[in-house]
Amino acid sequence: MAADLDAQALEASRRLIAGAGNIMVLTGAGVSAESGVPTFRDAMTGLWSRFNPEELAQEDAYRRQPALVWEWYLHRRELVAATHPNPAHFAIAALAAQKAVTLVTQNVDGLHQRAGSPDAIELHGNLFANKWLDGCGHCDPATAVPGLPPRCAICGAMMRPGVVWFGEELPRVARYRAEHAAENCDLCLVVGTSGLVYPAAGMPGAAKDHGAHVIVVNPAPSALDQTADTVLRGPAGVVLPLLWGGAPAAPA
């Protein structure tokens, strides 16, 4: 067991999870750390090392240099596609088979879905999804003109990655569903997030304001430790299976 994981806190958390009615799980990049998913900044290696990710992940960068930004996303897709879900992803999927769970993630890597959580609410979109920039409403990927990026065969609009860029609003339905879950859960399990990016970072506080117990799982201090009733100081891939067991399925 991780050295500084408090056995009493672990046992108390196990009991809270076993007795919970509605559980909200909120995950961040840390839940994918043990899968080796490069964080937003890790992907900046080799040819990409001279770029600042926050300058690339925004709409005006895309309008100025569409081919460069599109190729950066192709590079990130390649890196992430080579990773696999880890015990933390599988444990969360296994929990949903035993309890009423709403999974909300800030991650765009799709690993929750590959571990068996088909209904993960993706607050920041998905790296492998595409949408259109200024589309005509009839843009169709099936007939898109290939290129960097592909373009609509009808109006010439550029295809763009289906992720939330800096300065953009979150997908409305995903945000509504996540906020509803926060206000209606009796346990909020926060896994692997620094708690620095809103509105996701505000959701555990909202859950607490509505009477939920908040458990944080993180090997390092985070901005949400103050909100937590319980902090389990350890890696998600070790802690989550200890909390309720997690059937590791074959990597998808």
User: Is there a catalytic annotation at residue 112?
Assistant: no
Q: Is 222 in the site for ligand OAD (CB under 6 A)?
A: yes
Contact pattern from residue 161 through residue 200 relative to ligand OAD, giving x for each residue in contact according to CB under 6 A and a dash for the rest: ---x---------------------------xxx-xx---
Burial class (CB in 10 A: 0-12, 13-18, 19+), 140: exposed
Q: Is 30 in the site for ligand OAD (CB under 6 A)?
A: yes
Q: What amino acid occupies position 238? A: V
- The window from 11-19, 91-99, 147-155, 214-222 that contacts ligand OAD (CB under 6 A) reads 214-222
Select from 18, 21, 39, 155 the one that contacts ligand OAD (CB under 6 A).
39
Concatenate the DSSP letters of all residues of 50-119 into one string: GS-HHHHSSHHHHHH-HHHHHHHHHHHHHHHHT----HHHHHHHHHHHHSEEEEEE---S-HHHHTT-TT
Select from 87, 161, 162, 235 the one that contacts ligand OAD (CB under 6 A).
235
Burial class (CB in 10 A: 0-12, 13-18, 19+), 4: exposed
Residues involved in catalysis: 124
Give the residues lining the site for ligand OAD (CB under 6 A).
28-30, 33-34, 39-40, 106, 124, 164, 192-194, 196-197, 217-220, 222, 235-237
